[in-house]
Amino acid sequence: MDRPPVWFMRQAGRYQARYRALREKYTLMEIVRQPELSAMVTLWPVEELGVDGAILFSDIVVPLSSMGIGVDLREGVGPVVDPPLRTEGDLKRLRVLQPEEDVPYVLRAIDLLVKELEVPLIGFAGGPFTLASYLVEGGPSRSFLHLKTLMYREEALYRRLMDILAESIARYLLAQIHHGVHLVQLFDSWVGALSPEDYRRYVFPYTRKIADAVAAAGVPLIHFGVGTSSLLEAMAEAGGDVLGIDWREPLGRARGRLGSKVLQGNLDPAVLLAEKPFIQARVRALLEETGGKGHIVNLGHGVLPQTPPQALLWVVEEVHRFAERTGWV
Ligand code: CP3
């Protein structure tokens, strides 16, 4: 491509009137379990926004619900696991994912999409720490105290859990690749809760294993987390061809720290609640930090439900305008 690509995390979702209308009829899990529906939702923002990538419509907790664990995606709350998984006995409920048997509907949606799409399809999985956080905390958490307690007090049990997750995530991504996704993103959204030392000790080996499996399959991996300013070097070393960066870390500074690594991000999703000139100025400033080189334009986290749909169009427009001005196209 002769200009920086642009797409959005959560580019399909509640900010769209047609998504909200569909959700009146179906739960998120019902959409995900019907390949025609999830493929349709995946395609909407590609048509509406002219983005350069489609992200498969699903959720990071979808495979967990097929690994022996009951997960409920509660509106306005997030994933809830009841009872949570905290003891040796609890861990016996969890088994390694067999993607073709356990999540055939996800793979079928990919089959449908690769036939239809003219832009790359992005597959994804939750990162091991982030999935462990939902399993052990039982739901969203700010402090991750149950997970950290397990990590610090019962390291062997924690490592058995992470082994099962890493193996499942690797198999899940490989199955998506086998069905034709063009690149994959690992959403380890909550690793920013750890110090660099603890990241290296408790997460790095599992992420490395997943990244090595994806690299062997020859497909690019985007490695993403939130609030990870102090972890960027360690995350880059753990794996991924592209590192997702949030707005707390200026891209120019990330570039200085990471050398040639391709960067993805990093507009604050809240910027899209501002007026058009403000949004466009922020997009220009972002592109000036990287010169548009080695840069996939995105937000630093997912699109907020309050976002006016035109704001996303303005971002795409401004990326195209930057490319014209700088003689890229
Ligand atoms: O990006 C995309 O467009 C693809 C679809 C996608 C969803 N979730 C759909 C979804 C992706 C990639 C995810 C990833 C995901 N899910 C993450 C990692 C990225 C991140 O946000 O950090 C996490 C932590 C989750 C867990 C989760 N699922 C949360 C915290 C929520 C929000 C709860 C709420 O209602 O506010 C969900 C629900 C969810 N997953 C929605 C969507 C579009 C919300 C809308 C709905 O319930 O229909």
Whole-number Å distance, alpha carbon 303 to ligand 1 midpoint, is 10
Mutate to test the pocket of ligand 1, among 7, 8, 10 (most ligand atoms within 8 A of CB): 10
Q: How many CA atoms lie within 13 A of 87 on its CB side?
A: 3
Amino acid type, 141: S
Q: Whose CA is nearest to atom 39 of ligand 1?
A: 59
- Look up 23 and say whether it is catalytic: yes
Whole-number Å distance, alpha carbon 309 to ligand 1 midpoint, is 18
Ligand 1 atom with least separation from CA of 185 = 12
Looking at residue 329, its pLDDT comes to 53
Catalytic residue (one of 33, 86, 134, 246)? 134
Whole-number Å distance, alpha carbon 59 to ligand 1 midpoint, is 6
Q: Whose CA is nearest to atom 10 of ligand 1?
A: 59
**Cβ atoms within 10 Å, residue 180:** 15
323-to-126, 287, 289, 326, 327 alpha-carbon distances in Å: 33, 10, 14, 5, 6
Ligand 1 atom with least separation from CA of 58 = 5
Whole-number Å distance, alpha carbon 28 to ligand 1 midpoint, is 10
Cα separation, 63 vs 125, whole angstroms = 9
Q: Which residues line ligand 1 (CB under 6 A)?
A: 9-14, 23, 28, 55, 57-61, 73, 75-79, 124, 130, 140, 187, 189, 302
3-state secondary structure the chain: CCCCCECCCCCCCCCCHHHHHHHHHCCHHHHHCCHHHHHHHHHHHHHHHCCCCEECCCCCCCHHHHCCCCEEEECCCEEEECCCCCCHHHHCCCCCCCHHHHCHHHHHHHHHHHHHCCCCEEEEEECHHHHHHHHHHCCCCCCCHHHHHHHHHCHHHHHHHHHHHHHHHHHHHHHHHHCCCCEEEEECCCHHHCCHHHHHHHCHHHHHHHHHHHHHHCCCEEEECCCCHHHHHHHHHHCCCEEECCCCCCHHHHHHHHCCCEEEEEECHHHHHCCHHHHHHHHHHHHHHHCCCCEEEEECCCCCCCCCHHHHHHHHHHHHHHHHHCCCC
Whole-number Å distance, alpha carbon 260 to ligand 1 midpoint, is 30
Q: Whose CA is nearest to atom 27 of ligand 1?
A: 78
Catalytic residue (one of 33, 52, 59, 255)? 59
Whole-number Å distance, alpha carbon 329 to ligand 1 midpoint, is 34
Cα separation, 62 vs 193, whole angstroms = 23
- Is the bond into 266 cis (omega within 30 degrees of 0)? yes
* Residue pLDDT, tens place only, 119-146: 999 999 999 999 999 999 999 999 999 9
Q: Whose CA is nearest to atom 34 of ligand 1?
A: 76
Looking at residue 327, its pLDDT comes to 72
Q: Whose CA is nearest to atom 7 of ligand 1?
A: 59
- Look up 14 and say whether it is catalytic: yes
Q: Cα angle at 194 between 193 and 195, to 5 degrees?
A: 135
Q: Whose CA is nearest to atom 5 of ligand 1?
A: 57
Residues of the chain with pLDDT under 70: 1, 328-329
Mind listing the domains of the chain with CATH numbers?
58-106+123-240 (3.20.20.210)
Q: Whose CA is nearest to atom 35 of ligand 1?
A: 76
Ligand 1 atom with least separation from CA of 12 = 3
Whole-number Å distance, alpha carbon 189 to ligand 1 midpoint, is 11
Cα separation, 135 vs 81, whole angstroms = 6
On whether the CB atoms of residues 123 and 65 are closer than 8 A, the answer is: no
- Look up 255 and say whether it is catalytic: no
277-to-15, 206, 280 alpha-carbon distances in Å: 21, 43, 5
